[in-house]
Chain A
Amino acid sequence: MASTVIGANITIEGEVIADEDVIVQGTIRGKLVAKDGVTVEAGAVIEADVSGGPMTVAGQITGNVTSTDRVELQSGARVVGNVKAARITIADGAHFKGNVDMDV
């Protein structure tokens, strides 16, 4: 269960460093580093480099995404930036602009 939640009407300008799951519904500008899973829900806005474990993205990310596990861009997601992960899935209807770097 995720222990850190950035709610829908919250803006964080700065660094978020979590040794646990993070769910983002609001806005983060700066940097997001998580040890475990990152969930970017629809409506969330991240203008930051994001790194962590398994990621599920339904919101908007502007910045580079690095994952030790998988990155899943769901329908409605908007990602501008490079994605580096072991596995990447992009669902139909997801907007994506950037390089993809997978463990080939």
Chain B
Amino acid sequence: MASSGTIIGPETRVRGRITGATDIEIQGHLEGDLHASGEVRIDASGTVAADVHGRRVIVRGAVKGNLSADESIHLEEGARVVGDIHAPRVAIAPGGLVRGHVETGKGDGKHAPAASHAARAAAAAPARHATPSKAHAPAKPARHGAQKPVSKSRITLGGGKSKAPAPVVPVLKKGTKAALTKKR
């Protein structure tokens, strides 16, 4: 066992990048990047704050970062993952916890996180586009005067930088509420 694989023991902390061709078992703590062409096993005692890539990735411990694999990713009981998961095959056993984007199927695992980030950005974009359009609309009613307070609050919500002083707190709160309900 000692001759072939790599073990980061339970009392060991690694901060940095691990790359290699052999199997890696993490019982301790890793902060950085892990890229292996063998099997990556994160044990129940293992805590990883890193992007992890392997041929196969098996998780029983805690991971904060994106997981990708050439073959498969197994989240077993006790696994806690906060991050995106991408592999041709993904298995999540009962008791495995995930918060993030999961994608199965072929394709380069490296592109998956970037793609999902782009998707997130795209999803967030309409919300950003929506507020400037609102900001444009009040530009005309602003002359009417009646709707002025509401439109002001909207501008500060969307544009942010356009008006230097923040409006009175109750007005901002009203505007935030209205904007939130409108988005939904």
A90 to B20, CA, bound (A): 31
A1-36 Cβ-contact flags toward B at 8 Å (1 or 0): 011111111111111111111110110001000010
Main secondary structure, interface of A, reads strand
Contacts of B164 in A (CB 8 A): none
Closest CB-CB distance, A38 to chain B, in whole Å?
12
* Complexed CA–CA distance, A79 and B65 (Å): 37
Interface size on B, residues (CB 8 A): 27
Q: Are B22 and A4 in contact (CB under 8 A)?
A: no
Decide: B10 and A5 in contact? CB cutoff 8 A.
Answer: no
**Which residues on B sit within 8 Å (CB–CB) of A8?**
3-4, 22
Q: Which residues of chain B are near A4, meaning CB under 8 Å?
A: 7-9, 11-12, 28
Complex Cα gap A102–B9 (Å): 30
Min CB–CB distance A6 → chain B (angstroms): 6
The 8 closest A-B pairs by CB, nearest first: A14-B16, A3-B9, A10-B20, A7-B6, A19-B11, A4-B9, A18-B12, A9-B21
Measured as residues with beta carbon below 8 angstroms from the partner, the interface class of chain A is 20 to 34
| Interface residues of B, Cβ cutoff 8 Å to A | 2-24, 27-28, 32, 36
Q: Once the chains bind, are B12 and A16 in contact (CB under 8 Å)?
A: yes
A19 contact set on B, CB distance < 8 A: 11-12
Residue pair A30, B12 in contact (C-beta under 8 Å): no
Chain A residues within CB distance 8 Å of chain B: 2-23, 25-26, 30, 35
Excluding A7-B20, A19-B12, 4 further A-B contacts by CB distance (< 8 Å) are A5-B5, A10-B36, A11-B19, A18-B13
A79 to B74, CA, bound (A): 42
Select which of B9, B16, B22, B24 is within 8 A of A13 by beta carbon.
B16
Q: Is the CB of A3 within 8 A of B11?
A: yes
Residue in A9, A13, A22, A25 whose CB lies within 8 Å of B12: A22
Q: How far apart are B68's CB and chain A's nearest CB, in angstroms?
A: 19
Contact B18 A12 (CB under 8 A): yes
Contacts of B11 in A (CB 8 A): 3-4, 18-20, 35
* Interchain residue pairs with CB less than 8 A apart (10): A3-B7, A3-B12, A5-B2, A8-B3, A8-B4, A10-B19, A14-B14, A19-B11, A19-B12, A26-B20
Q: Which of A2, A5, A6, A8 has the most CB of B within 10 A?
A: A5
- Cβ contacts under 8 Å, A23 to chain B: 2
In the complex, what distance in Å separates the CA atom of A4 from the CA atom of B7? 5
Checking B10, B15, B21, B24 against A15 with a beta-carbon cut-off of 8 angstroms, the contacting residue is: B15
